[in-house]
Structure 1
Amino acid sequence: MLALAIAAPARADRGTDDLAAYARARAADGDGKVIQAAAAYAAALSGAPDNVGIARRAYREALEAGDDALVDRAIATMERTGEAPPDAALLRYAGAVRAGNVPVQKAMLARIGAGPFDFIASLLRTWQAYDAGGDPFAQLDDAKGNPVARRYIAENRALLQIATGKAGEGVIDLEAMLGSDQASLDLRINAAQLLIARGKADFARSLLVGDDPAIAALRRSPGGMSVPTGAFGASRLLTRLASDLAEGDPTPLTLSLSRAALRLDPGNDRARMLLALALARGGAQERALATLDEIGEASPYRESALQLRVAVLNAAGDAQAALAAASQLATRKDATSADAARFADLLVASGRFADAAKAYRMAIARAGDGAPWTLYLQLGGALDQAGRWPEARAALEKAVELGPDAAVALNYLGYARLEHGEDVAASVAMLERANALQPDQASITDSLAWAYFKRGDAAKALPLLERAAQGEPGNATINEHLGDTLWSLGRRYEARYAWQAAAIVAKAEDGARLAGKIADGMRTAP
């Protein structure tokens, strides 16, 4: 009786502690404090090691935090009740490969093969066979039956040919499937690294073409690589799948696949980039930035990581930090035209149009004679918004000169000239050409219609504006123009309806003008 009396409060205290830990975890999770949430979930799971609900939350939080020990504890709890998610087997497999635990590897491959990642299992076995000195291509043949796997099989066959000393055959097979998409960029780099490891630098250089920062960096400094292992191939395989998934809506699978890829090969910085992107999309910006900081100076992905850092800061709403990071990139010794343009884009978004114009000029100067028309268009837009129209007009005219069939450049120059009261006839002709080039672009259709309206031909403008409004019903400018045109044609009820539609989505500074039109109509001509 005495023992029970003493023990009861202890159990109550422990239960209270577990509940408090879980509450702290949920609160930290909600606030985006990933490290604190993971620590609190770990404490809660220690107090309730068989609670699948806690384990499930701990698992996902541990993936964000990079807490491998908690990931494995949570998986163990979920496995005991048969409720582990399919991606958990990939993480267990990756850990077993790193630890050299063959029985666990086989068990996890069987589990992977019975789930939604079934085609991955056969491809993972090919890299195991390669490590063991066996015939990896026999395993590839086993995977042919899955149509989803065909592209993956072709890619891994080519990489395995290179890894097994058949560099020429591998490169020929690669060239048949390479394009300009992200998967092709990744494949170029993976193959080049294998070729470099095999002493085939000439073959590697033939693949390292294009302006992608990682490819350019590897081309400049290929470095040395140790003989590749099966873990290299398996890590790139999981990274490939993570990359495909990252192109859609954010998904926890990108996190788990990237983490599994890094377990297999901690030097896989492409997986680290994908991990950072997934963390940022999930609201864990601090962890995303910390992950990017792990990509060292010698990595071919270092430049890409610096660029992504700017994007993460900007997406997180920290405009000043993003500007500071972009400025640092734009003003460094070996800064490029793209660095300056990226900085200029952020300055425009911050309303610093004069400073943006300076940065765009810097971008143009660095590009030299190869400066594209788009940079002159951006320069003209910044100067126009800075109130420096004569300079803006010159830049926009240069954009049209370099891109005579660029509808967006023709549209901007034609519309801006109208707004500044310059040469209506020539501006209309320019907008008509832009509309002919892109007849389905609502903003260009609106510009042409507004030109007709300014010229006094509201009847000709109306059908164009109605079409533009159907194409972009949430565009405030188009709806206001439609309202103005309807009013001038005597259709006043419809005009107010259009203005009201514009007011719903208009910027705050345009609200008073629209409210005046809705109340009193158009007192004067626009």
Structure 2
Amino acid sequence: MRLRLLAFAAPMVLLAACATTSEGPADPGVATAAADTAYGMFLAGNAALAEGRSDEAARFLDMARAQSGDESTVAERAFTAALLAGEISKAAQLAPDGPAASEPGKRMGRLTKAVESIATGKGKIAQEQLAGDAIGFPHRSAAALLAPWAAAQAGDVEASLVRPQVRGDPTVDYFGQLGQAFLYERARRYDEAETDFKAITGSESPSELTVLAYGGFLERRGRRADAIKLYDAGLGRSPSSVGLKAARARAAAGKSAPAAPSVKEGAALAMLAPAATMIAAKQGQIGLAYLRLALRLDPQRNDAWLMVGDFLQGAGDVSGARAAYARPKPGSPEYGAAQAKLAWSYQQEGDKATAVKLARAAAATGDADARLTLSDLLRANEDYEESVRLLGELIGEARTPDWRLYYARGAALSQMGRWSEAEADLEAALKLRPDEPELLNFLGYTWIDRGERLKEAMAMVEKAVASNPRSGAMIDSLGWAHYRLGDYKAAVEKLEQAVELEAGDPEINNHLGDAYWMVGRKDEAVFQWRRVLTLKPDAKIKADAERKLASGQGPLAPKLATQ
């Protein structure tokens, strides 16, 4: 995924402005060189921004702005780059304004200035900047959630306790109530605070964030037993939660309760929900900007750093992602997850040794999720025996059965050829999580590939595809089921869809080649098998494709199964 660029036009005349002084045109040679330099900086900045390299983009575009003297178009682009790079003070200085600035740029600029005001302790100014409709769509929700915290910093207690509302926005309703609970506590109106905390944790599956918030409040009120009960309920729903485990251990040991959030910390929390909403809505550039604003308010917000890392990793900025993943420190609840993501970034680039080294270091802390990550990496690197051993330890230690552990161990055992044990684990996982698409697909596909329990397997894969209709892997399983049942026409149809979605997957391309051969499309089959060899297949798939190409006889006659 690449960062979506804001609409922009850059006529040469804007950049050539640096070639003219108040006393008239400069020397033509000097003017041309200056214009070329400014334009070169502008092009380099745009290229860096398009590729997700926000730090470089900010540097190049700011140089282009300074050299060209343009304080509108190029400055707006420099503002965007600085914001995405996390240089919020700089971005606030460059915030677009005036008739030449775009309306979207001005709205984001106003929000940035308000955040910078809160970050520098200027609550009254921030309150004015967030008032009314100055910050409109699509930032209205973020502004509404920030406003009470600006009021609190300004000393306007009554305004800080007004629950924010944006019509039709459940995110503002939910996180506005969470903020109100904290602000009631800040105002020492504890009964009203608890009413809000109870409301946001009263559903069947409250978020971990709100459970930790209410539990912290209970601990601060000296009600450790109630907090432990709340954490236990949360762990019953999410037994592997590092944050809940740490909170329960703290409360049980009678250690100091976590402090209530400061104004800046509360404002940072308020920015996280809109950030996640924007990223989920494919508005990634805005989501990243919100995360950067949150981190300006609270640089220790580790969950925000993980979200930044995930976004940059997806955008292709590997170095930026690694820098973000490196921010959580040992001992923090997010450290294990951060190290796991860091390890996988190296694994994906083919540096398996570094990946496993990082994963082992994280696992050495004893963190269950870090140990699970190590087992996953070992399985990916075909060290199945150690992976199975680690997973067995985790299954034995779990307070409640975790389907993920059985699924992972079943997958590793399957690769080792220990199918009866693998099948038992996979069925145990399915019993715990009967609607999980990945699990349905894995077990269903394996049965299909083995020619076993075809009717049941077909139904499982169809259910998985219905849940994830854009998953090439799942549609491949369905296509292969049709192949194994001898319905080659249907197999071709599904496998073509799968290849469209996962064009670089060697196994799916290999399956499509087999299906083409069986319907008489032999030239296309040969093309697919040749393509398989360009896609870094594993040894088994490579040998199969090479055999078919060398023999000219196509796939081995499938042993058809009946439903």
The residue number in structure 2 matching 1:360 is 388
CA separation of 1:313 and 1:90: change in aligned 2, threshold 3 A? farther
The residue number in structure 1 matching 2:125 is 103
The residue number in structure 2 matching 1:334 is 366
Whether the 8 Å CA contact 2:111–2:130 is kept in 1: the answer is: yes
Q: For 1:62 and 1:119, how far apart are their aligned partners in 2? A: 23
TM-score scaled by length of structure 1: 0.75
The residue number in structure 1 matching 2:339 is 306
CA separation of 1:343 and 1:267: change in aligned 2, threshold 3 A? closer
Q: Percent identity?
A: 18
Q: Deviations over 1:342-363 (max 9, x none)?
A: 23333444xx32x133222222
Q: Deviations over 1:472-512 (max 9, x none)?
A: 465335435545655xxxxxx3x537736854864552544
The residue number in structure 1 matching 2:147 is 125
How much has 1:225 moved relative to structure 2?
4.2
C-alpha RMSD over aligned residues: 4.1
Q: How does 1:402-441 map to 2 (within 5 A)?
A: 402=428, 411=444, 414=447, 418=450, 428=452, 430-440=453-463
CA separation of 1:172 and 1:483: change in aligned 2, threshold 3 A? same
How much has 1:126 moved relative to structure 2?
2.5
The residue number in structure 2 matching 1:455 is none
Whether the 8 Å CA contact 2:395–2:406 is kept in 1: the answer is: no
CA separation of 1:257 and 1:194: change in aligned 2, threshold 3 A? farther
The residue number in structure 2 matching 1:216 is 245
Q: Deviations over 1:355-395 (max 9, x none)?
A: 1332222221232275767656544544554xx53xx2243
1:89 is aligned to 2:121: no
Whether the 8 Å CA contact 1:18–1:43 is kept in 2: the answer is: yes
The residue number in structure 2 matching 1:344 is 375
1:185 is aligned to 2:217: no
Q: How does 1:62-211 map to 2 (within 5 A)?
A: 62-75=82-95, 78=97, 81-83=100-102, 84-101=105-122, 102-110=124-132, 112-131=134-153, 132=155, 134-136=157-159, 139-140=162-163, 143=165, 145-147=167-169, 149-163=172-186, 164-166=189-191, 167-177=193-203, 179=205, 184-196=207-219, 201-208=224-231, 209-210=234-235, 211=240
How much has 1:403 moved relative to structure 2?
5.1
Q: For 2:556 and 2:336, how far apart are their aligned partners in 1? A: 56
Q: For 1:363 and 1:178, how far apart are their aligned partners in 2? A: 29
Q: For 2:36 and 2:497, how far apart are their aligned partners in 1? A: 58
Q: For 2:556 and 2:288, how far apart are their aligned partners in 1? A: 58
* Structure 2 residue ranges without an equivalent (≥5): 1-21, 435-439, 465-474, 501-507, 535-541
Q: How does 1:226-305 map to 2 (within 5 A)?
A: 226-249=259-282, 251-305=284-338
CA separation of 1:115 and 1:365: change in aligned 2, threshold 3 A? closer
The residue number in structure 2 matching 1:490 is none
The residue number in structure 2 matching 1:54 is 74
Q: How does 1:449-488 map to 2 (within 5 A)?
A: 458=486, 465=491, 469=495, 472=498, 475-476=508-509, 478-483=511-516, 486=519
Q: Compare relative contact order (CA 8 Å, sep 6+) and give the higher one, 1 or 2.
A: 2
Q: For 1:35 and 1:313, how far apart are their aligned partners in 2? A: 21
Whether the 8 Å CA contact 1:158–1:170 is kept in 2: the answer is: yes
How much has 1:93 moved relative to structure 2?
0.6
Whether the 8 Å CA contact 1:310–1:326 is kept in 2: the answer is: yes
CA separation of 1:190 and 1:246: change in aligned 2, threshold 3 A? farther
Structure 2 SS opposite 1:297: coil
Q: For 1:398 and 1:168, how far apart are their aligned partners in 2? A: 46
Q: For 2:243 and 2:134, how far apart are their aligned partners in 1? A: 32
Partner AA of 1:235 in structure 2: A
CA separation of 1:328 and 1:67: change in aligned 2, threshold 3 A? same
Whether the 8 Å CA contact 2:114–2:125 is kept in 1: the answer is: no
State the structure with more CA Rg: 1
How much has 1:92 moved relative to structure 2?
0.9
